[in-house]
Amino acid sequence: MTALTRRSFLATTAAGLATTALPAFAAPTTFKHGVFEVTVVSDGHLVLPVSFLATDAPDKERDAVLKESGISGTQYNSPTNVTLLRRDNELILIDMGSGGRFMPTAGKLWDNLQAAGIDKSKITKVIFTHGHPDHLWGAVDEFDELQIPNATFHVAANEWNFWEGDNALRGLPPERAGFVTGARRNYAALKDRVKMMKPGDEVVPGVHVLDTPGHTQGHVSLALAGGDGLIIAGDVLTHAIVSFRYPQWRPAADHVPDQAVATRKKLLDRLATDRSRLIGFHLPYPGHGMVERKDGAYRFVSVA
């Protein structure tokens, strides 16, 4: 498997970053879902090698997808969409973006919240889908102090145990050691305010933890009550064509590829059957849409 590391990100994208303009401020998108006000805020985007999309894809099929996606070079931009939920007096952030130590095109969450007039100090809870850099490393500032010191942080116990355990180093290629160091640095800052969660838990009324492992060992998604449902899927589905049309392809970022494939297929079937809404962290901003069955697979349909 191609190694997915901060160093390999930066090495393979250095030339591209010189000519890749940072995105303009993307105004947060807000809509109602049941009792929740849902806001999606951009953390910017990642610049990734196209090989990360699927390590095992046939060249001809992958090239066709790249062309259809408008990707003509060796890199592509992957949006990073952070979700904010408001219910009564609770302001709940789902993941915290990259912060300033991962990629220069990401880590824009706090600036974009401020520009939109959203006070981060009002956030009461943070729920993490998993411990990868673009979801966790925004938890602390340059001094390793919490960006939101008064919030309560919710982490899946299986995910916490993976990153803090010996298997985090044994179970990943050596080139990803920096991911482990970064996860532990951020976890150390929030450990006195963390609450462990498990699949099936209701973190707040109407927000349930959904078991979606494979991308990481303890990856979870969030299922919101109301209507036909809304699933905030983290990194289960990471590309608007590949993840839906070819869920059997194995992205380089998945820790347990076979498990990730099974999780993708199960979630896609649920979304298409239930007609639930979806927010995908790496889907085209704001990542909000629905899933339809098409030609024996699926397709993502954006919802305005």
pLDDT tens by residue, 57-107? 988 888 899 899 988 888 999 999 999 999 999 999 999 999 999 999 999
The per-residue pLDDT for 174 is: 80
Decide if 273 is inside a domain. yes
Domain ranges, residue 99: 6-302
For position 25, what pLDDT does the model report? 60
- Mean pLDDT to the nearest integer, 10-22: 38
Tell me if 55 is assigned to some domain. yes
Report the mean per-residue pLDDT for the chain. Answer: 90
Q: What is the pLDDT of residue 3?
A: 39
Token reading at 52:
């990360």
User: How many angstroms separate the CA atoms of 14 and 269, rounded?
Assistant: 38
Establish if 252 belongs to a structural domain: yes
Residue 116 burial by CB count (10 A; 0-12/13-18/19+): exposed, middle or buried?
middle
Here the CATH number for the domain that contains residue 216 is 3.60.15.10
3-class DSSP state of 181: helix
Residue 59 in domain = yes
Of 82-86, 171-175, 195-199, the least confident? 171-175
- Residue 84 lies inside a defined structural domain of this protein: yes
Residue 26 in domain: yes
Q: What is the percentage of the chain residues whose pLDDT exceeds 90?
A: 79
At residue 207, φ and ψ (nearest 5 deg) are -125, 105
pTM for the model? 0.91
- Residue at 1 is within a domain: no
Dihedral over Cα of 95, 100, 101, 105: its sign: positive
**Banded model confidence at residue 6, pLDDT cuts 50, 70, 90:** very low
Q: Average the pLDDT over 150-177 and give the result.
A: 90
Question: Is residue 155 scored above 90 in pLDDT?
Answer: yes
What is the DSSP secondary structure assignment for residue 146, as one 8-state letter? B
Is 256's pLDDT higher than 80?
A: yes
Supply the pLDDT for residue 177: 85
3-state secondary structure 91-142: EEEECCCCCCCCCCCECCHHHHHHHCCCCHHHCCEEECCCCCHHHHHHHECC
Higher confidence at residue 231 or residue 304? Answer: 231
pLDDT in the model for residue 175: 77
For residues 213 and 232, give the distance between their C-alpha atoms in angstroms, rounded to a whole number. 14
Instruction: Decide if 227 is inside a domain.
Output: yes
Count up the domains in the chain and report the number: 1
